[in-house]
Homo-oligomer: A and B are copies of this chain.
């Protein structure tokens, strides 16, 4: 059996590895940490990096919280358990360079207990990529790496979780995906996967450890490209769609806002600057138009 302390400890370590790796890749800025405790139980380490060489604003958060399950959450889950424990690592990186993509990763473990011994427990998580400009080769590389991680644990995972990501990272009111997708999964446990807890835990850690090499590669591929003020304008526009997704649809953000989470940690995912231009339509045949045409579900990037 995997204990919650063991999971939290592994996640804490993954946070450390990722922060160290991102600081190296950035080469200029350092993460600032805030350690916080939650009134109802537990706490976290919020780490934010701003105005770096590569990263304009990024957050790598770890938390392990527990306490009484709020009534509205019980209702939403349709459960009667009274106590919960949740731990996870959450990342959103907004790069300065418009050709480097925005990236998001989350790995998490959740349990609810009633004291009767019949606990509900599962792992969830995902990684998705939001290029301001979609580059086919980068999207291909990103998905190939995710598939390799998935395949090491279960041959069904990638195609299933890729489809879930297409559905989840979708801006319904714009009828466009947030980016080129990735993987998204939830409620992984022995019943839903046929795997042992230990192997699901290993999968969760493997997802966490896929983030750094993949994003470092995407940074290196694009950081020396030249760009214009038009590219920056488009980046600010695309970031506004990111804001719309996070504030209107993102389940983690909603959960956080409804359970009085630590606001600055929850909303660290929002970009340093976002612009809303009224009814902007890119030129036919432009790179911007090409990107819009690829913000669709169901594209096989591999």
Query: Which A residues have a C-beta under 8 Å from some C-beta of B?
Result: 34, 48, 50, 57, 59, 172-174, 236, 240, 243-244, 247-248, 257, 260, 263-264, 266-268, 270-279
Contacts known (A244-B247, A247-B244, A248-B247); A267 close to B276, Cβ less than 8 A: yes
Contacts known (A271-B276, A276-B272); A257 close to B248, Cβ less than 8 A: yes
Q: Is the CB–CB distance between A57 and B278 below 8 Å?
A: yes
Q: In the complex, A101→B277 CA distance in Å?
A: 20
Contacts known (A244-B247, A247-B244, A247-B247); A173 close to B276, Cβ less than 8 A: no
Cβ contacts under 8 Å, A257 to chain B: 172-173, 248
Q: Give the number of copies in the complex.
A: 2
Q: In the complex, A270→B279 CA distance in Å?
A: 12
Q: Is the CB–CB distance between B263 and A278 below 8 Å?
A: no
Cβ contacts under 8 Å, A240 to chain B: 270
Cβ contacts under 8 Å, A271 to chain B: 276
Q: Is the CB–CB distance between A264 and B279 below 8 Å?
A: yes
Query: How many whole Å from A197's CB to the nearest CB in chain B?
Result: 35
Q: Is the CB–CB distance between A247 and B236 below 8 Å?
A: no
Contact of A279 among B48, B173, B174, B236 (CB under 8 A): B48
Q: Is the CB–CB distance between A50 and B278 below 8 Å?
A: yes
14 interchain pairs, CB-CB under 8 A: A34-B279, A48-B278, A57-B278, A173-B263, A173-B266, A236-B273, A240-B270, A243-B243, A243-B274, A247-B248, A248-B248, A248-B257, A273-B273, A273-B276
Cβ contacts under 8 Å, A264 to chain B: 278-279
Q: In the complex, A279→B32 CA distance in Å?
A: 11
Q: In the complex, A268→B244 CA distance in Å?
A: 13
Cβ contacts under 8 Å, A276 to chain B: 57, 267, 270-274
Cβ contacts under 8 Å, A173 to chain B: 257, 260, 263, 266
Query: How many whole Å from A105's CB to the nearest CB in chain B?
Result: 18
Cβ contacts under 8 Å, A263 to chain B: 173-174
Q: In the complex, A72→B262 CA distance in Å?
A: 32
Which residue of B is nearest A274, CB measured?
B274
Query: How many whole Å from A33's CB to the nearest CB in chain B?
Result: 12
Cβ contacts under 8 Å, A236 to chain B: 273
Q: Is the CB–CB distance between B278 and A275 below 8 Å?
A: no
Q: In the complex, A277→B57 CA distance in Å?
A: 9
Contact of A274 among B59, B266, B273, B277 (CB under 8 A): B273
Cβ contacts under 8 Å, A174 to chain B: 263
Which residue of B is nearest A279, CB measured?
B264
Q: Is the CB–CB distance between A272 and B279 below 8 Å?
A: no
Which residue of B is nearest A254, CB measured?
B248
Q: In the complex, A35→B264 CA distance in Å?
A: 40
Which residue of B is nearest A256, CB measured?
B173
Q: In the complex, A48→B29 CA distance in Å?
A: 40
Cβ contacts under 8 Å, A267 to chain B: 244, 276
